[in-house]
């Protein structure tokens, strides 16, 4: 079960659950998978930036892939970004052997010029092999690599394995329109576009042509419903639903701190046993936790699901 | 009329109105001042980053200061950030002579270490002179300079003229709490804290101890009412009001693009005659303008003011 | 007397002389011009980064241009880089009116993608006007903007006024070869290439196809002789001469600190009256000054000129 | 055999030899060790940035450590920098178990404020354990993390395991003087300082108080002799020797490209069988190789060793 350029819907960016002492919480891997499946998502993305992937040892990464792929009935995309191509290749091929649906690759932060960016992904695509479908991650705010629509087109054209864009630029609406325009004028083959960025602009991203969401919002059922409403053309209903979540969603979308918020809420919702992060990681202050509780209470009063 | 460490309320970050051909629109300077006064703000901040200050020539900057100070009955803070201290000093002293209430200084983007940052502001404070009250601008997302609460305390302690912080860090709630904690434990003298960042967290910033807002949101009356409700302890009412605006407010808060959104809405509201920016500047696509119109219509249906 | 794409030789990057109190030292402007003329340089470049241009007020900049153009019998290139295009245009046109030979433009540090870079220079070229010849400054180490040879070709092709490249990339030898290759294969019109970077690779830059040097080395006569020897094909003699200077040259070429070294030596040589920089600026420690003295003594023992 | 704060002399930064196809060249590991021992160095540092460490898989890294420690009679320092503390700990402890003399830790590139930097090294020191001596790597040009002398002092004071500084700042002479000044005034315990940066300032770094060199210059015997001459107070002889090497040394010290130069020369000298880098890596153009050959011929004519 591999993804392709026609993949649509919601892929949840899954965090990595840890015990309070920083060791892997494998039991929570299972409960988390069940939580996402119950929410109705279409797939999972693991070992991304929000999955604290750089903090894991290679053996742990493989253990997580193995356990989640076995537990889940959904396609699983595995983040394989690494400082070196050798480690990337090893994790990519092992993940596919374990049953992953695709891998995801982010640029290394030092890339600047268009040629450097395109050259890097050509080498990465060659390293993982032509039979592995992969997702291009475009996340300038965190990775400090800026890809124009034309560079994304070049990467997609150069690499038959690249079937999906994880769109996470901000502001990013025009980028979606530009890429869809390229498809329309025949200069870009069809490409699945799922959007991240904590869903802060998912309402309009869908209207611009996104195929769905790939983000880790702690209420994945909101993403599922919003994508469905929007795909069905029910614009006002989609915005009404989105606006209900926005006050909390915006709070979870804080750069860096957001993962602590997200894990705290997922713990409260029973998806994972502990909200701890492996060091170094941000923790919620008592005041921040109280603010989240307040926002959740307000959300519960409005969205009775 | 100078500002001090006890200044509170809403200071509107004013854009600079241009004619469609890029020349200064002096008539709109007047209408914009009237617009802000009618909205009930407590002061104005001009020639900031959102005021396109680096695109102005020195003579234009002075013309703007002069005209706005004359027109306005409110205190006016003037952004004087410059690559060099000589130009900063000249604009600061000329602005005060024209009747400004204070100046605002941002760090130059190359600063990295704590000592570099504190050293820069010591030189800037000396350059403008000890009699000029000034606002410290903390805006890491755009300026790429990261100031810890301890460094801000050091700057305030070193510089008697520094009476206010324009807080624009993101995430930034803990920074407000840390600074208020310093005041409480006696290691920091009282400091006015007004928050920016397009008001995306103004609801909680007030609860953390902010004295008000300094941002350019196109509905300044929202800022005024929110600050009042929050200061009066009416928490739920403050959040209810804030949440009504959040869908549009988030759209206006987009990095870089936000100024085009803001000017477009201010033009629609009659505050300025044209939404043009001096080159180089971002422009709204037709699709983006339609999205803004849609959000405004939804806002109008909920906030009948 | 304007420069063109066939300009060759040595253009000295001139510092701006200040009095110990930070005010402009106009008398030293004259002596400095005489010093450079005596050294046999072919032209001067003023108000560059090493000219402390951002620390000057607009009126001071014009005073410097005016005085140097009047004093010098050589063509003078004026750095007009500015945060905004309006100020850039004003200084460029005023400089040309005063008799400058060309202007020099550096990219603003925020530029990242190829399109952003090319777009910026298109706007800059339009702002100064089609009749003003200009020098493209490529200095990634300080400006953090990376231009590939292809982007430089695009800028030159887009802008008829762009006649010269101030090459200051490091490592940068392959870039010269690539650009000369473009000329050879007919995809780039002839372009003057003068190299900077404190002359640390001038020996090989000449061999790769540079037309000369544009840097502020405190012994400009070394640059003049080296360029001549290299142009005459006297390879070993060129390297012998270069190697004699390299121990000190390397010391002057230190990023940031280098200007203090250079001004100290120019003061010792009588070119300027004081080695002071306008604040904020680096100063030589006593130990550093002694190290420079030691290097100069060793140089004098080997290069008896 | 562990290093300590009284360690002196030359530690060669060893490259990782690869076959032309990118696989590890284990035979060259042996010949390289023999090459360094014959040159008279006092120790080896492996798996650093110039050792292409991020391109290796964990098992390869351990194989290299094991083989080099067994072959070498000298102390071996192992670079263990990693995006995550778990991987860092595993490599550090395994290396010490295999007989390493210490480990070396570089900051992650995202660190900005003094507190972030000190906090990171406190966590890293705790992760590897208090019994492991370690080297603090200060290399702002590549890592974009700027540590003041005061922050280095704070790290050394916080972490008893930190016994050595790999000094690689540029300009960096004043930093050595500042740290030695701290020791003199009793605010810093004794610290071994070995300098890197391709030895471009080794002549003066020794005079400022460095204990030796830690760099990968392809003529390690030059480093050995220079350190000895300088330690013996033979200033002029030290500079005479250094100056002989400077033209080539400067060429090898080019950022990024330098490793290709170094491996090419080490191959020519018989230390390793191939000058290939694992992808992505820079390669020497034919012209660059010819320039190196020219410089080597000139060097051989002057330094007859």
The residue count of chain B comes to: 305
d(CA B26, CA B48): 17
Mean of pLDDT over chain D: 97
pLDDT for position A305? 61
Whether residues B250 and A254 touch (CB distance < 8 A) is answered with no
Which chains does D contact via 3+ CB–CB distances below 8 A?
Answer: A, B, C
The count of CB pairs under 8 A between chains A and C is: 23
Separation of alpha carbons D202 and A124, rounded Å: 38
Cβ distance B86 to C57 less than 8 Å, yes or no, reads yes
Q: Which of A113, A148, A150 is opposite residue C146, by nearest beta carbon?
A: A113
Grade residue B30 by pLDDT with cuts at 50, 70 and 90: very high
CA distance B101 to chain A (A): 34
Tokens, residue D126: 């705790």
Is B20 near chain C, with CB under 8 Å?
no
Positive or negative CA dihedral for D120, D122, D123, D129? Answer: positive
The dihedral through the CA atoms of A221, A222, A225, A227 has a sign that is: negative
**Mean pLDDT confidence for C216-244:** 98
Which of B200, B257, B287 faces A250 most closely, judged by CB atoms?
B200
Provide the pLDDT confidence category of residue A198 given band limits of 50, 70 and 90.
very high
Question: What's the pLDDT band for B5 if we cut at 50, 70, 90?
Answer: very high
Q: How far is A23 from chain C (nearest CA, A)?
A: 40
Beta bridge partners of residue A9, listed in sequence order: A212
Q: What is the pLDDT of residue C40?
A: 98
Q: What is the pLDDT of residue C281?
A: 87
The residues, ordered by sequence, that sit 6+ positions from B168 with a Cβ below 8 Å of its Cβ are: B137, B138, B139, B140, B141, B195, B196, B197
Q: For residue B300, name the pLDDT band (cuts at 50, 70, 90).
A: very high
- pLDDT recorded at residue D215: 98
Answer yes or no: is pLDDT of C303 > 80: no
Q: pTM for this one?
A: 0.96
User: Which tens digits make up the pLDDT trace of A161-182?
Assistant: 999 999 999 999 999 999 999 9
Mutate to test the interface with C, among B80, B83, B91 (most CBs of C within 10 A): B83
Of A54, A106, A84, A49, whose CA–CA distance to D57 is shortest? Answer: A84
Contact D208, D258 (CB under 8 A): no
Contact pairs from chain B to chain C, CB under 8 Å: 55
Looking at residue A1, its pLDDT comes to 75
Quote the pLDDT of residue D304. Answer: 57
Contact criterion met (CB < 8 Å) for C55 and B279:
no
In this prediction, residue D305 carries a pLDDT of 61
Residues 6+ apart with CB under 8 A from D240: none
Share of chain C above pLDDT 70, in %: 99
Mutate to test the interface with A, among D21, D84, D87 (most CBs of A within 10 A): D84
More confident residue, B279 or D103: D103
**C257 vs C283: CA distance, rounded Å:** 8
Contact C51, C281 (CB under 8 A): no
Does residue A170 sit at the B interface (CB-CB below 8 Å)?
yes
- Give the closest-approach CA distance of C81 to chain B in angstroms: 11
- pLDDT value at C304 more than 90: no
Q: What is the mean pLDDT of chain C?
A: 97
What pLDDT is recorded for position A148?
A: 98
Write the pLDDT tens digit of every residue in D34-70.
Answer: 999 999 999 999 999 899 999 999 999 999 999 999 9
The count of other CB atoms within 10 Å of the CB of residue A98 is: 16
Is the pLDDT confidence value at C120 over 80? yes
Residue D267: the pLDDT is 98
Share of chain C above pLDDT 90, in %: 96
- DSSP classification of residue D130: T
pLDDT band (50, 70, 90) for residue D281? confident
Q: Is the pLDDT higher at C14 or at C283?
A: C14
CA-based nearest distance D29→chain A, Å: 20
- The share of chain A scoring above pLDDT 70, in percent, equals 99
Q: What is the pLDDT of residue C247?
A: 98
Q: B178 Cβ partners below 8 Å, 6+ apart?
A: B149
B118-133 residue pLDDT tens: 999 999 999 999 999 9
Residue A177 class from Cβ within 10 Å (0-12 exposed, 13-18 middle, 19+ buried)? middle
Preferred mutation among B107, B110, B111, B115 to probe D, highest tally of D CBs within 10 A: B115
pLDDT value for D68: 98
Can you give the pLDDT at residue B304? 57
Cβ separation C151–A112 shorter than 8 A: no
Partner-chain residue, chosen from A60, A120, A278, that has the shortest CB–CB distance to D280: A120
A222-235 CB burial, b ≥16 within 10 A, e <16: bbbbbbbbbeeeee
Long-range CB contacts for residues B275-280, cutoff 8 Å, separation at least 24: B276/B18, B276/B19, B276/B20, B276/B22, B277/B18, B277/B52, B278/B16, B278/B18, B278/B22, B278/B52, B278/B55, B278/B56, B278/C84, B278/C85, B278/C86, B279/B22, B279/B55, B279/C85, B279/C123, B279/C127, B280/C85, B280/C119, B280/C120, B280/C123
Give Cβ neighbours of residue B141 (< 8 Å, ≥ 6 apart): B168, B169, B170, B255
CA distance A224 to chain B (A): 19
A84 to D58: CB separation less than 8 angstroms, yes or no: no
Token reading at D291: 């320039």
Q: What is the ipTM of this complex?
A: 0.97
pLDDT tier, B221 (very low <50, low <70, confident <90, very high otherwise) = very high
Give phi and psi for A284, each to the nearest 5: -80, 135
Look at residue B201 and tell me whether its pLDDT is greater than 90: yes
H/E/C letters for each residue in chain A? CCCCCCCCEEEEECCCCECCCCCECHHHHHHHHHHHHHHCCCEEEECCHHHCHHHCCHHHHHHHHHHHHHHCCCCEEEECCCCCHHHHHHHHHHHHHCCCCEEEECCCCCCCCHHHHHHHHHHHHHHHCCCCCEEEEECHHHHCCCCCHHHHHHHHHHCCCEEEEEECCCCCHHHHHHHHHHHHCCCCCCCEEEECHHHCCHHHHHHHCCCEEEECCCCHHHHHHHHHHHHCCCHHHHHHHHHHHHHHHHHHCCCCCHHHHHHHHHHHCCCCCCCCCCCCCCCCCHHHHHHHHHHHHHHHHHCCC
In contact, D66 and D97? CB cutoff 8 Å: no
Give, in order, the Cα–Cα distances in Å from C127 to each of A296, B21, C105, C121, C133.
53, 13, 12, 9, 12
Per-residue pLDDT band for C167 (boundaries 50, 70, 90) equals very high
Please enumerate in sequence order all residues whose Cβ is within 8 A of that of D90, keeping only pairs 6 or more positions apart, or say none: A57, D58
Instruction: Identify the closest residue of chain A to C112 by CA–CA distance.
Output: A112
Closest CB to D109: pick one of A56, A84, A109.
A109
Pick from D171, D177, D285: CB nearest C287: D177
Per-residue model confidence (pLDDT) at position A143? 93
Instruction: Report chain B's C-alpha Rg in angstroms.
Output: 18
Query: What chain B residue is nearest to D145 in terms of C-alpha separation?
Result: B112
Residues 243-302 of A with CB under 8 A from D: 278-280
Any chains having at least 3 CB pairs less than 8 A from chain C are: A, B, D
Q: What mean pLDDT comes out for the span A190-214?
A: 98
pLDDT, chain B, mean? 97
- Chain B residue numbers with beta carbons less than 8 Å from the beta carbon of C121 are none
The pLDDT value given to residue C226 = 98
**N-to-C CA span, chain A:** 31
What integer is the mean pLDDT of C109-123? 96
Q: Which of C56, C123, C127 lies at the smallest CB-CB distance from B84?
A: C56
Mean pLDDT of C268-296: 96
Stretch D22-44: mean pLDDT: 98
The span from the CA of D58 to the CA of D69, in Å, is 17
């Amino acid at each position: 079960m591999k993804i392709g350029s026609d993949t649509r819907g919601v892929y949840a960016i899954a965090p990595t659950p840890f015990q309070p002492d920083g060791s892997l919480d494998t039991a929570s891997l299972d409960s988390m998978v069940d939580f996402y499946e119950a929410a109705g998502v279409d797939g999972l993305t693991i070992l991304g930036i929000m999955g604290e992937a750089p903090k894991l040892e290679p053996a742990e990464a493989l253990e997580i892939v193995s356990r989640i792929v076995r537990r889940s009935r959904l396609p699983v995309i595995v983040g394989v970004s690494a400082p070196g191509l050798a480690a990337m290749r090893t994790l990519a091929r092992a993940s596919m052997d374990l049953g992953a649906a695709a891998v995801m690759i982010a640029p290394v932060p030092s890339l600047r010029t268009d040629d450097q960016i395109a050259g890097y992904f050509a080498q990465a695509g060659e390293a993982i092999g032509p039979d592995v479908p992969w997702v291009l991650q475009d996340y300038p705010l965190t990775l400090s690599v800026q890809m124009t629509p034309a560079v994304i087109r070049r990467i997609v054209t150069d690499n038959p394995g690249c079937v999906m864009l994880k769109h996470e630029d901000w502001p990013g609406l025009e980028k979606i329109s530009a890429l869809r325009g390229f498809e329309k004028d025949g200069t870009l083959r069809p490409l699945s576009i799922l959007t991240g960025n904590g869903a802060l602009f998912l309402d309009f991203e869908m209207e611009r042509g996104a195929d769905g969401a790939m983000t880790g919002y702690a209420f994945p059922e909101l993403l599922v419903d919003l994508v469905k409403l929007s795909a069905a053309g029910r614009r006002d209903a989609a915005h009404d639903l989105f606006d209900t979540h926005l006050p909390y969603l915006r709070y979870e979308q804080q750069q860096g701190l957001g993962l602590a918020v997200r894990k705290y809420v997922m713990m409260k919702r029973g998806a994972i046993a502990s909200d701890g992060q492996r060091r170094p990681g941000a923790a919620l202050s008592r005041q921040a936790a109280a603010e989240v509780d307040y926002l959740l209470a307000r959300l519960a009063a409005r969205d009775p699901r």
